[in-house]
Structure 1
Amino acid sequence: MEDENSWVFDSLVCFLNGPIWNAPLQNFIEEKSLIFEPNVDDNEEYKKIFDEFKNLVDFMLGNFMEDIGITPEQFENACKEGRKYQVSFDHNLFEQIWAANDYDMFKRMMAQRNVELQLQALELIERKYGITPQSFIPKTKDENAKEIPVTIEKTSDLENDVMHEVDELELKKRQQYLRAQRDKLVALKKEARKKQLNAETTEKPKERPRSAKAAEAVMTGERPNVEPQQLQIRKTLAERLKSEVVNKELK
């Protein structure tokens, strides 16, 4: 029994490490993370994307289980027996599945990816220009401001409004350019994942055929059609993950 349960989890770990899972999931996270900002209150768009993410996770897990010939009920039993026989796994690997069951964790994951992509885009800009362009450096107060003639502080209200509009325009251009670089980066990563996915399905055409087709469909923009029983797989796995963490914290 222990060997059977180990085989189930070993297969799942292999699946989660491969391009068939990572291509559609990572692409979704990167494309949808743009609007997620740290420490921002909930909004309807966040919740809508969260529902889409849950559907994607359920869809991919469901197809994987069909590929290895296990029903949701059998998987649930494997999780229970695996706990008894101490069949464990690194829960960090299952972050995306866990995030599909925890809205707050999902928001943090998306916000973190958004920040990471912006930083990567800035690195690309720096490589292109040699240094980070001045327009991307946050403005700071001049340390010698006290030496500026008093007459400058007496600028008219009209001039203050004009300066404000110039600053706003510069900020908007800066944001638009950074977003464009970010979008290019996401597109490049998507193409790289498509090639990895294609190589995987070409080299191993008979291995996980349903999962591979599902991944290819999602990458081309098709919306996943989730069967009711597929929800059970994610929830069962989430409970197993939760118990793993609780047990480790209690030790």
Structure 2
Amino acid sequence: MDRALSVLTQIEAWLPPAPPPIDWTAHAFRWQRRGARGWLDAVHVVAPIHLQDLQHIDRQKAIIERNTLAFLLGKPANNVLMTGARGTGKSSLVRAMLDAHANRGLRLIEIDKSDLGDLGQITELIQGRPERFIVFCDDLSFEEGEASYKALKSALDGSVSSPGDNLLIYATSNRRHLMPEYMHENLQAEHQSDGEIHPGETVEEKISLSERFGLWLSFYPFAQDDYLDIVNHWLQIQGCPAPQIEAARTEALQWALERGSRSGRVARQFARDWAARHV
């Protein structure tokens, strides 16, 4: 018996500790995993971003806010996939939804794509809670053979179990269909005598995941004037007076040129650098 107890003690030392109790007072959570155990880790300090800070994506803002408000009211709502140019406000828009509607019961759960197989556990944890939860996966994309790809397909639409009416999935990606696409896959397409085209099975498989998101929102690179408007907005937030904002125009364009992108992220980074040197 003593030897058996010693062995059990050694095994217990290798096991991960029991997950801590969930702090439901938090507005945001991060799904954590250690070994076979996963838990919701409360995030009490969320990086602030407001809807009015997101410039020149008015259509995308209107659509996702309409969907989120319907979700909060218990009306039918869709899972959302946001794709397009980097730094154009995709993930910021999700955080802005939390900032705008946390007082109405909206909560955010951030999850890594490698943990998407745990969506069933998350659903069980939040079942019966009065809050409404958005499970957010940022920069979602898959390579060939990743297991979490199948798990997400099932969770979105196809599993025999219901995800519950208090959970939606919002995801961002730079790939429209979330997986790499190759030229040789297009060669599998069949061309019928009447002109109808049937995509190959590989293409159908890759498209099937993105199609399970009810809403697709596309984001595009900003025109020069739009980029400068965003720079001006962030310079005002940083407390720069009007003469300094006007003087920053040329350097802001150079900043974007060096980075090869006119995006909201680049504009905010420039505004921080300029304000640090001139305010």
Q: What interval of TM-score do these two structures reach, taking the shorter chain for normalisation?
A: under 0.3
TM-score scaled to structure 1, two decimals? Answer: 0.22
Structure with more relative contact order (C-alpha pairs < 8 Å, separation 6 or more)? 1
Higher share of residues assigned strand: 2
Higher share of residues assigned helix: 1
CA radius of gyration, larger in: 1
TM-score scaled to structure 2, two decimals? Answer: 0.20
